[in-house]
Structures are given as structure tokens and as C-alpha cells.
Structure 1
Amino acid sequence: MAGVWLLLSLFFFLGSAEAGKLLVIPSDGSHWLGMKHFVEELGRRGNQVVVVVPEASLSMGPSQNTTTLTYPVNYTKAELEASLAGQINTILSIDISTDLAKFQAFIISMDVLQRFIVRSAEGLLFNEDLMKKLQDYSFDAILTDPFEPVGVIVGEYLSIPAIYMQVNLPCGVDTLASKCPNPASYVPQRSTHFTDQMNLWQRCVNLVRTLMQPMACRSMHTYADEIASRVLQRKTSIVEIMSRAALWFMRSDFAFEFPRPLMPNMVMIGGMSTKKPKPLSQVSSHNYMCM
């Protein structure tokens, strides 16, 4: 059902009567693996899908029924893997035994993520030939995962409708950018490990975390905001750009989350698998009895 909603929504932007042109700028790792089969299906159905990826990545590369464009970056795949492993170890080694420790872990994780998510931004955004080529395509829309904000900036630069497909980000940028209500009395902040039934102390901690969301997002996107301002030649921020999103595809499911408000252009599409499932093996009644 989630896949049907996703495809219908994308067809709405690409045009239902004729094939459309879709620019795809994914994020690396599981972010791309969860998006890949939808992108390939759109290409199979006759849409012109152009996927832009860095030359060195963990998992991204050519995909079926799409055109892949690459851009150079100043690191190798081995260096990327080593850097990611070090950053993950840093986050996992942080003490979260108390509420104060959890808050300190949150601040440290913002700093770690900031360095990771902008590593390839300049390689694409300041590649004049490739950016000119993307302009010449005259895309109908861009589909991107805002975990790495390069796609957010490209969509604004090209002035095309932006469709964001994301997993929840630590600073709650989806809530801030969309102006979505976020009542701190019953919507627990991410990484607090609270539930929707908090005691008075937990509600106070959750309120403080909620009030600090804008500061956390500014901290997390400091470098990205600077790059966006240089590319667009005006003072701006990632949160401001994302506030103009046409659609949000939220890779989460109410079955696994506490109830919270959503804006009309937000669609829960569930936790998408990273690959197509294989058919179940056939088990005969004889085999079952032998077990």
C-alpha cells in the first residue's frame, strides 16, 4: 500500500498523461537502498529518471531504467568507510545513563553528523558543467533524501518542486521546516527514550529539548547553510529551503511510533525494505511432519 501511494504521488508531479522528468539525488547507505527500487520502477514505467551520485560512495552506483551521472569527490570509498566507522564508534561510545548524559550525547551526535552529511556537497554544487547540464534537462521535480542536504540545495537552485523522502533526523528538521505542531506534552523527542506517557520531570526535559530544536538544527546545518548561501547567492538556511517542500514521504509507520500530528503534504510510507523480497519457499506437509 505504501508503494502504491508513493508511485501515485510521484505520478501526480511528473504528469499522469505523459512521461515526466525526475531528478534523484539520494543519500548514501541504507537511505539509497530503501529508495532505489521505487526509482527504478518509475524509470521502468517510462519516466526519464536521472540519478546523480558521487564517484566514491558506500552503496550508490548505476541502477536499472535510469540515467546515472557522477561527480568527483576528494575522498575514496575506503576513506569514507573508515570515516563512517569512526563516527559510528564515537556515537556508540557516548554515555546515555542519565538524562543529562543523553542530552550531551545529542549535542555530540549533532557535531558528528554535521561533518558527515556535507562531505560531498561542494563536489556537486560547485561543478559548473554538471549543474548547467541539470538545468538543461528541465526537470519536473526532484526526489531527494534530505539527510545529506545537497539535494535540497540543488532543488532550490533549479527552482523545481522538491519531494523529500526521509528517515527521522535527530534535530527534527521536518517538524521545524513544515511548521508541524509538536506538542511537547505527549510527543517525545527522539533519543530521549521517553514514551507518550511521561511523568512531570520527563515532560520538563522533553519541553527543553523541544525548545532547543531550532538551535540544534542550526548547529547541525552550519556548514550546509554556508554552502547554500554561496550557491544561491543570498542568505538562507536548509530549514528555510525545506519549508517550501511540495511533498514529504516519511519513512516511518504509525505502528512503530507514538501518535503525533502531520501536515497535509506529509505521507507515511512505512519502513521500506532495502531489497525486493524473495518468494517464500514451498514446504510440503511431509516435510512439516518430519520436523
Structure 2
Amino acid sequence: MASLSPVVLALVFANLCMPTCAYHFLILGGDGGGSHYYDATAIGKELVYRGNNVTVLVSDMYAKSVSKGEDSQLFNFVIYKSLVTEDQFQNVLANQVETGMRGDMVSMIKNIALAEILFYKQCRSILIDDPVIDLLHSEKFDLIIGDFWYICVGLVAQLLETPFALLTPTAVSMSMQSQINVCPTNPAYIPELVSGLDTKLSFFGRVSNTLILSLNSIANRRMLHRYDQLKVDLNIKPQISTYDALSEAELFFVNTNFVFDFPRPLMPHVVPVGGLTTKPSLPLKEVNISKINLT
């Protein structure tokens, strides 16, 4: 599947002009580190290899690492001042893993709420950083590519008045994603990703799945409402909700494969691109078995 992504990107972002012509892309794929960042920059690398210009927006938490990393020669980096520290994010992530291993659902819900607050603060960090916004305005990007879980992508796109595409690093079967990209979601045979159910649903399984879908939808709307207030405070098209702003995405790239997802219909603008970060395997090192102590 690693070969699928370049093919899809070549079809979507094909240069129809002379070789000297290049498009200018802005990537919002997290703060500058982590799995979401690597997914988004995998697309950025393919775009650079095809002769385009790519700018990546990252937090000052990762300014040093990205400037010295392997991507430093490929991308232009714009650094914004963060209202959140790296330790805060790492603590939330560590707590999420710990509570998940324990199966402590109450603590997991509380931790998710804390993560949502941190993401909201990061979004505000970007939007109130006037020098950064002015610089992004002056670049006149052709397209923004953003991670779906960073809700701020929709707000930045509206502020810059630039079309955008969303990348989802998880399966299609998520209530919030399905609602925003208008993929039909039938709880009678499409289990919610976090429900623990499979496609062979009994009557009670369908009832349970419907309740989970309803609760998730309410929670998603509640989370987005916080960004609605931010749009009003900063006068970023306040008449359009954050939900509707995200729905305006031109394309939805989903880093998954039909083998790993539940059967479901897909809309034409939802494109599976499984294998974004996969690479050819490296040869194994030769090991002298006679020197290994097996006792």
C-alpha cells in the first residue's frame, strides 16, 4: 500500500503547467513532532519531490528539532509562539496510555477533555500570533493540508481564505469524521470505532452502537462549540460554525485500508491513502549465534 499514496497524490495534485511551475502548500500537521506530524509531512515530501513548495506550520516547542531534522532542507518552516508547553502535552499523552491500559474509562474521558483544552489553546496560539498570520497571508498558498484532529485547520483556512484538504490518520469509522465528510453512517451495521463491536451486530448490539454514536455526536458538537466562540472572539466568519467550516474541505485523505476498516460507503471526495509512512524494510544484521548465551 506504500505505493498507493504517491499515485493518489499525483492524480490530485498533478502539475498541468510547465516543469518550472510549482504550487505552494501549507501543512498543519501538529506541533512539529509525533505520529500526526509524520503522516502530514509524508504528503509534504511527495509534493516537494514533484516540484512544489511546501511550508509547515509548527510550534516553537519544536523549533530546534525541525530546523536540524531531515526535513529541514525540504520544507519552509513557520514557527508560532505556543501557549502550551511540551511537558503538558507529554503528561496528557502518558496519562492517556496509562488509563487506557488500566481500562479506566472515567479517567480516560477526563484526560480526553484535558487534551481538547490543550488543542484549543494551541489553536488560539496560532490565530493571535499576528506576525505569523501576516506572513501566512503574504504567502498566498494554493492549498492547505491539515490533520483532521487539529480542528484549527478549518479556522486557519477561513482566515487565509484558502481551500484546504484534511488528512485523517485513523479509520473512516469515526462518528465525527463520518458526519463532517458526509459519509453515511448506519449504526445497524457500521460499528463505532471505540465501541468494541464488530459487523455481526445483534439487536442489543445495534441499540448499544446507536447510543454510543449519539453520545459521541453530542460530545463532538460540544467540543466544536468551544471553537465557535473563538471564531466569534476573533471575528473569523462567525456566521459559519466550526462544524460547517471543516465540512468545506475539498478532499479527505484517510490513512487506512479497506482490510483494516469496516465495510461502508465512501463519498467521492474521501480518498484512502493507506501506507503513508511505510518504507521498504531494511536488511537484518547478521548475528553470530555461537556468541549468544542461551542459558
Structure 1 residue 141: deviation in Å? 0.4
C-alpha spacing 1:22/1:192, structure 2 compared with 1 (3 Å): same
The residue aligned with 1:145 is 147
Tell me which of 45, 55, 58 is aligned to 1:53.
58
Higher mean C-alpha displacement, 261-270 vs 216-225: 216-225
Structure 1 residue 94: deviation in Å? 4.1
Identity over aligned pairs, percent: 23
Structure 1 residue 249: deviation in Å? 0.2
Structure 1 residue 71: deviation in Å? 0.8
Query: How many residue pairs get matched?
Result: 274
* Partner deviation per Cα, 1:34-69 (whole Å, 9 max, x = no partner): 232331232233211111100114997242321001
The residue aligned with 1:40 is 45
C-alpha spacing 1:146/1:184, structure 2 compared with 1 (3 Å): same
C-alpha spacing 1:54/1:220, structure 2 compared with 1 (3 Å): same
Matched ranges for 1:190-269 at <5 A? 190-231=193-234, 232-269=236-273
The residue aligned with 2:83 is 74
Could you tell me whether the CA contact under 8 Å between 2:4 and 2:275 is conserved in 1?
no
Could you tell me whether the CA contact under 8 Å between 2:178 and 2:185 is conserved in 1?
yes
* Partner deviation per Cα, 1:102-133 (whole Å, 9 max, x = no partner): xx678546524422322311111111121111
Could you tell me whether the CA contact under 8 Å between 1:188 and 1:196 is conserved in 2?
yes
C-alpha spacing 1:83/1:184, structure 2 compared with 1 (3 Å): closer
Cα RMSD, aligned residues only: 2.8
Could you tell me whether the CA contact under 8 Å between 1:5 and 1:269 is conserved in 2?
no
Could you tell me whether the CA contact under 8 Å between 1:111 and 1:219 is conserved in 2?
no
The residue aligned with 1:188 is 191
3-state SS, counterpart of residue 85 of structure 1: helix
Consecutive unaligned residues of structure 1, counting only runs of 5 or more, are 97-103
The residue aligned with 1:23 is 26
The residue aligned with 2:293 is none
Tell me which of 263, 273, 276 is aligned to 1:272.
276
Q: Which amino acid is the alignment partner of residue 201 of structure 1?
A: F
Could you tell me whether the CA contact under 8 Å between 1:25 and 1:151 is conserved in 2?
yes
In structure 2, what is the Cα distance between the partners aligned to 1:60 and 1:197?
Answer: 47
Q: Which amino acid is the alignment partner of residue 73 of structure 1?
A: S
TM-score, normalised with respect to structure 2 = 0.82
Could you tell me whether the CA contact under 8 Å between 1:113 and 1:220 is conserved in 2?
no
Could you tell me whether the CA contact under 8 Å between 1:165 and 1:251 is conserved in 2?
yes
3-state SS, counterpart of residue 58 of structure 2: strand
3-state SS, counterpart of residue 6 of structure 2: helix
C-alpha spacing 1:26/1:9, structure 2 compared with 1 (3 Å): farther
TM-score, normalised with respect to structure 1 = 0.83
